[in-house]
């Protein structure tokens, strides 16, 4: 208590910079005067009396110093002194300071971002109460989290390990709140969903297991907070209101709490709907009682108290065995395991975790390398200051004090770097949080810099400050003031290859690899934008809708689709309008096995090919710009009344029939035995991904093979914005309750098909910048060190008439050798790595003179940048000054 009180008094004195100087001076004076008087009384002469008094008092300065030390907090005062001195030093060498601060800002910022994402994805994914006992169940060797509804019911009712089991599935539905209908992302959830997750409504109430009484019995919805905020403007009166979901009336029961974003980390729903109403909102017909349809994305629940994971798995497996025995045609591989629910179980969780761990490791390595480089920069600085250090030592400063100042300087730099890095990373994280990578899907990663992130950044900054600040300490401790002042800083020049050199070469090589591969990726991207897709995405607008969202029944769908096509064709400037059920390269695929006409045993093993299916309107090929190689497209008369037909691509014709000529007019079979006549053959195209060539594909007339999914392909030279407006008003006029999404075909390609290559390019670019920064600091440190060590030698060379080139070669030759060795190694490795890159980025090839030249230029530029300051210093060496100083 006492010492605490004293600490606060001292802190106060320090803060108020109140010193007791005046008081102690007066007290000393008073003391000596009194003692003098006493001495006088004892008979000493006046001068001697005062002298004796002063002698008896002792060393005035030391008393004052002790007094001051008692009054304030000496270590803080020393620290402030060191900080002030360090700041002055740093201001005097802005080049060094800027390089060091930027390096640390990038390295610490990278770590903070990676940690924040890890924090959001893995450490605290869902923010649910008692999350530690919440487990998702998954089955089979591939950890499939999907279940069918009947299986889920059996698991829920028969297990003895979970308090209760909830399930959810993600879908899209048309939500009509009175004005325009819009497509909303919905979670179809089990009635007990909110109760299992143990969350309370923000407003109104949630639905419960007791609200379910069989199919379509619970017409209730719960709004997500964000959706309520953006679409209902925080209106508290919404509870009890009726809205239309796919044209079926539903009652709003309540609003979920703001911190709840559903049970998968990166896809927040707008609305929660009981899954017993799947038939109304799912748009997929009645699959709820189908044991073979695993449309539930994930089932999860809290383990009962005292039940271990192993016990729960045994329990689930016994239910699995029961299911396999009773439903052999639909249930297989029913062995269970548990995982965390936030990332769809292990199916997604494991790769994400592995990826994040890798990233964290990489970020850590970057920071480590940055620290090593800054350490050598610091050593160079300490060598330059050896004279000053020697002088201070000679004047009686303690080595501890000098080391403390050096460390203060290092920590100051690292704190500045950390601060800037954190500032940058919160900006980046804010961008990441607000980033919707694909305009159509609500993929979204809510990451925020919370206290954990700040703490990690601070710790990293302090740790790295100490780490690289410690490098020159040995040098200081060994300093012998006599030697330094007598001889000047030592001129020993190491010729052998040190660990530091190898580290530097490795960094240069890694940087060159990154530069090479990001250039390869960029070139590949550019090339793939101009390659042939089998359709022409230029000047095409896609309007995407699903008629089931507006409650169209199967018999009404074809007529409505025809009406939409006709309506859009009347827009001035529109060349053609086609329709396809899912657009190529959108990631949405459907496929089936096909058999040659002669095959009678339609077992999967006998199939001729696995083949993609698209359902199109007769004008699709014209609108999409797909070339018809032979035959013809369909007409609007090719409906259910005429024999089944298809247009196939060149690849299917080749695989099933052997040649185009044989295919036209020929027949093939589907797994159910249906015979299909080939009426036309089109060119091959890109369907599932850009990297896949020649996938067999068939196109069915939409009238023979109906689908409620509708992509309207509108080809026109008009301004996209105006065209989109025109399409919107035409479709609104047809049905105001139909939600749709309009974008250009190129936008869609960028969002989906080119997304992986774009991501790869961006991340390689970011890593490349990091690598470049390491190379710059590394070479800068090395060159600065070698210049300052050889200053005297350089001075003598200049005095003897060396040319500038010669001086530079002597000063920086080693740095450039290392750079060249590293760059060449990196270029070779990079070219090898590009083979891997070709899997992600379509048409990535390193055999490209532009890439080669680009890498050489980039590395040379980095070298120049890094050696600029040391080179100028080497050239500015004035032999006269040097000689005078030594």
Partner 1 sequence: MKKKKDVLQGTLALMVLKTLDVLGPLHGFGIARRIEQISGDLLAVNQGTLYPVLLKLEQEGAIASEWGASENNRRARFYRLTRTGRKQLQLESRDWNQTAAIIDRFFAAKAEDLP
Query: Which DSSP helix (H) or strand (E) runs through 860?
Result: helix 849-875
- Least distance to partner 1 from the beta carbon of 477, Å? 22
- Least distance to partner 1 from the beta carbon of 49, Å? 14
- Least distance to partner 1 from the beta carbon of 12, Å? 10
Q: Which is nearer to partner 1, 35 or 192 (CB)?
A: 35
- Least distance to partner 1 from the beta carbon of 2, Å? 5
d(CA 54, CA 253) in angstroms, rounded, equals: 90
d(CA 804, CA 534) in angstroms, rounded, equals: 60
φ, ψ at 585 (rounded to 5°): 65, 20
Residue whose entry in the numeric block shows the structure tokens 């030249």: 853
Q: Which is nearer to partner 1, 15 or 502 (CB)?
A: 15
Q: Residue 325: count other Cβ atoms within 10 Å of its Cβ.
A: 10
Query: Token digits for 204?
Result: 């109104």
- Least distance to partner 1 from the beta carbon of 406, Å? 25
d(CA 480, CA 673) in angstroms, rounded, equals: 95
Query: Token digits for 369?
Result: 């390398």
- Least distance to partner 1 from the beta carbon of 808, Å? 54
CA 218 to chain centroid: 39
With 0-12 / 13-18 / 19 or more C-beta atoms within 10 angstroms meaning exposed / middle / buried, residue 373 is: buried
Query: Token digits for 51?
Result: 């002298």
Q: Residue 4: count other Cβ atoms within 10 Å of its Cβ.
A: 8
Q: Which is nearer to partner 1, 73 or 766 (CB)?
A: 73
Q: Which is nearer to partner 1, 66 or 333 (CB)?
A: 66
Q: Which is nearer to partner 1, 1 or 395 (CB)?
A: 1
Q: Which is nearer to partner 1, 56 or 213 (CB)?
A: 56
- Least distance to partner 1 from the beta carbon of 19, Å? 11
- Least distance to partner 1 from the beta carbon of 34, Å? 4
First-last CA distance in the chain: 57
**Pair 393, 399: CB distance under 8 Å:** yes
Q: Which is nearer to partner 1, 38 or 324 (CB)?
A: 38
Q: Which is nearer to partner 1, 66 or 452 (CB)?
A: 66
d(CA 87, CA 89) in angstroms, rounded, equals: 5
Q: Which is nearer to partner 1, 20 or 208 (CB)?
A: 20
Q: Annotate 316-363 with DSSP letters as a single string.
A: HHHHHHHHHHH-TTT-----EEEE-GGGTHHHHHHHHHHHHHHHHHHH
- Least distance to partner 1 from the beta carbon of 59, Å? 7
- Least distance to partner 1 from the beta carbon of 395, Å? 22
Q: Which is nearer to partner 1, 24 or 821 (CB)?
A: 24
CA distances in angstroms from 440 to 142, 363, 437, 709, 835, listed in the order given = 29, 32, 9, 15, 32
d(CA 638, CA 677) in angstroms, rounded, equals: 12
Report the interface residues with partner 1, using CB under 8 A: 2-3, 5-6, 9-10, 20, 23-24, 26-28, 30-31, 33-35, 37-38, 55-60, 62-63, 66-67, 69-71
Residue partners of 269: CB distance under 8 A and separation at least 6: 170, 185, 186, 187, 224, 262, 442
Short-list 616, 666, 665, CA closest to 638: 616
- Least distance to partner 1 from the beta carbon of 416, Å? 35
Short-list 83, 99, 109, CA closest to 420: 109
């Amino acid at each position: 208590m006492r010492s605490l009180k004293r600490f606060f008094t001292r802190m106060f004195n320090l803060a108020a910079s109140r010193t007791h100087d005046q008081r102690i001076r007066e007290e000393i004076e008073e003391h000596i005067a009194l003692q003098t008087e006493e001495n006088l009384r004892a008979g000493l002469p006046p001068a001697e009396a005062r002298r004796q008094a002063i002698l008896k008092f002792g060393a005035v300065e030391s008393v004052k110093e002790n007094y001051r030390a008692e009054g304030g907090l000496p270590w803080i005062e020393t620290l402030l002194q060191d900080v002030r001195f360090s700041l002055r030093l740093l201001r005097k060498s802005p080049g060094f300071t800027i390089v060091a601060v930027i390096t640390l800002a990038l390295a610490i910022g990278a770590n903070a971002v990676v940690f924040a994402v890890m924090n959001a994805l893995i450490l605290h994914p869902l923010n649910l109460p008692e999350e530690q006992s919440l487990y998702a169940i998954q089955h089979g060797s591939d950890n499939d989290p999907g279940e069918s509804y009947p299986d889920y019911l059996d698991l829920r009712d028969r297990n003895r390990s979970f308090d209760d089991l909830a399930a959810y599935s993600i879908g899209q539905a048309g939500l009509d709140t009175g004005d325009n209908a819009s497509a909303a992302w919905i979670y179809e959830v089990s009635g007990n969903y909110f109760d299992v997750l143990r969350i309370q409504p923000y407003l109104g109430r949630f639905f419960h297991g007791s609200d379910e009484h069989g199919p379509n019995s619970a017409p209730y919805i719960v709004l997500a907070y964000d959706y309520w905020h953006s679409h209902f403007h925080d209106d508290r009166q919404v509870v009890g209101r009726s809205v239309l979901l796919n044209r079926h009336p539903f009652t709003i029961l309540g609003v979920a709490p703001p911190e709840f974003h559903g049970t998968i980390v990166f896809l927040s729903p707008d609305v929660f709907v009981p899954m017993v109403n799947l038939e109304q909102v799912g748009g997929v017909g009645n699959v709820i009682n189908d044991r073979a349809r695993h449309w539930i994305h994930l089932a999860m629940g809290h383990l009962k108290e005292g039940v271990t994971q192993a016990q729960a798995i045994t329990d689930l497996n016994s239910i699995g065995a029961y299911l396999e025995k009773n439903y052999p045609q639909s249930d297989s591989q029913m062995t269970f395991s548990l995982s965390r629910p936030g990332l769809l179980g292990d199916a997604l969780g494991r790769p994400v975790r592995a990826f994040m761990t890798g990233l964290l490791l990489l970020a850590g390595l970057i920071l480590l390398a940055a620290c090593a480089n800054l350490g050598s920069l610091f050593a160079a600085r300490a060598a330059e200051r050896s004279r000053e250090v020697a002088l201070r030592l000679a004047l009686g400063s303690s080595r501890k004090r000098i080391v403390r100042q050096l460390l203060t300087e290092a920590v100051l730099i690292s704190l500045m770097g950390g601060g800037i890095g954190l500032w940058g990373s919160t900006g980046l994280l804010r961008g990441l949080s607000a980033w919707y990578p694909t305009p159509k899907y609500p993929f979204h990663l809510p990451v925020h810099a919370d206290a954990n992130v700040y703490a990690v950044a601070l710790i990293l900054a302090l740790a790295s400050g100490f780490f690289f600040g410690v490098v020159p300490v040995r040098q200081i401790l060994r300093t012998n003031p006599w030697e330094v002042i007598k001889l000047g800083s030592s001129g020993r020049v190491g010729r052998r290859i040190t660990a530091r050199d190898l580290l530097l070469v490795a960094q240069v090589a890694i940087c060159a690899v990154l530069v090479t591969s990001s250039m390869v990726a960029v070139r590949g991207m550019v090339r793939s934008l101009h390659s042939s897709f089998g359709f022409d995405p230029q000047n095409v607008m896609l309007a995407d809708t699903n008629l089931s969202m507006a409650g169209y029944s199967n018999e009404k769908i074809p007529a409505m689709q025809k009406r939409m096509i006709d309506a859009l064709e009347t827009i001035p400037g529109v060349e053609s309008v086609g329709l396809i059920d899912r657009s190529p390269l959108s990631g949405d695929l459907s496929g089936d096995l096909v058999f040659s006409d002669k095959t009678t045993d339609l077992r999967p093993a006998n199939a001729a090919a696995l083949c993609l299916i698209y359902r199109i309107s007769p004008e699709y090929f014209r609108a999409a710009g797909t070339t018809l190689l032979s035959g013809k497209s369909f007409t609007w008369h090719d409906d259910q009344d005429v024999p089944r037909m298809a247009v196939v691509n060149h690849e299917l014709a080749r695989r099933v029939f052997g040649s185009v000529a044989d295919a036209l007019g020929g027949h093939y079979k589907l797994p159910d035995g249906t015979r299909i006549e080939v009426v036309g053959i089109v060119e091959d195209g890109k369907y599932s991904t850009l990297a896949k060539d020649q996938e067999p594909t068939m196109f069915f007339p939409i009238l023979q093979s109906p689908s409620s999914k509708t992509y309207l392909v509108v080809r026109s030279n008009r301004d996209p914005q105006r065209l989109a407006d025109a399409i919107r008003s035409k479709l609104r006029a047809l049905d105001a309750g139909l939600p749709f999404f309009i974008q250009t075909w190129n936008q869609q390609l960028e969002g989906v098909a080119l997304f992986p290559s774009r991501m790869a390019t961006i991340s390689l670019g970011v890593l490349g910048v990091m690598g470049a920064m390491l190379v710059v600091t590394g070479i800068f440190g090395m060159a600065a060190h070698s210049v300052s060590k050889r200053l005297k030698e350089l001075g003598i060379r200049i005095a003897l008439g060396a040319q500038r080139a010669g001086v530079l070669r002597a000063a920086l030759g080693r740095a450039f050798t290392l750079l060249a060795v590293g760059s060449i190694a990196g270029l070779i490795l990079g070219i090898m790595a590009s083979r891997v890159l070709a899997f992600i980025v379509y048409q990535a090839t390193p055999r490209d003179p532009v890439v080669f030249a680009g890498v050489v230029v980039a590395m040379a530029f980095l070298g120049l940048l890094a050696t600029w300051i040391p080179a100028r210093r080497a050239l500015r060496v004035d032999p006269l000054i040097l000689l005078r100083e030594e």
